[in-house]
Amino acid sequence: MEISEKKEQENNNNISQTTTLDSSSTADIIDKESEERQARDLKAGLHPLKHKFIFWYTRRTPGVRTQTSYEDNIKKIVEFSTVEGFWVCYCHLARPSLLPSPTDLHLFKEGIRPLWEDSANCNGGKWIIRFKKVVSGRFWEDLVLALVGDQLDYSDDICGAVLSIRYNEDILSVWNRNASDRQGVMALRDAIKRHLKLPHSYVMDYKPHDASLRDNSSYRNTWLRG
Domain residue extents for the chain: 1-45, 48-225
Picking from 38, 146, 163, 187, the residue whose alpha carbon sits closest to that of residue 102 is 163
Q: Is 99 helix (H, G, I), strand (E, B) or coil?
A: coil
Q: Is 143 helix (H, G, I), strand (E, B) or coil?
A: helix
Gap between the Cα atoms of 170 and 162, Å rounded: 10
pLDDT value, residue 19: 39
Q: Which of 12-26, 62-76, 116-130, 170-184 has the lowest mean pLDDT?
A: 12-26
Question: Do the bridges between strand 48-59 and strand 158-165 make them parallel or antiparallel, or are there none, so unpaired?
Answer: unpaired
For residue 79, which phi and psi values (nearest 5 degrees)?
A: -125, 155
Main-chain phi, psi angles of 218, to 5 degrees: -80, -40
At residue 153, the pLDDT reads 87
How many residues are present in the chain? Answer: 226
Confidence (pLDDT) at 46 = 79
**Residue 79 has what pLDDT?**
95
The count of C-alpha atoms lying within 13 angstroms of the C-alpha of 38, restricted to the half-sphere facing its C-beta, is 11
Residue 225: is its pLDDT beyond 90?
no
Q: Of the candidates 132, 110, 134, 9, which has an alpha carbon nearest to the alpha carbon of residue 54? A: 110
Strand, coil or helix: 111: coil
pLDDT single digits (tens) 39-82: 666 656 678 999 999 999 998 766 555 555 677 889 999 999 99
Mean residue pLDDT of the chain comes to: 83
Give 145-184 pLDDT, tens digit per residue: 999 999 998 889 999 999 999 999 999 999 999 999 999 9
Task: Tell me what percent of the residues of the chain surpass a pLDDT of 70.
Answer: 74
In CATH, what number does 48-225 get? 3.30.760.10
Q: What is the pLDDT of residue 224?
A: 66
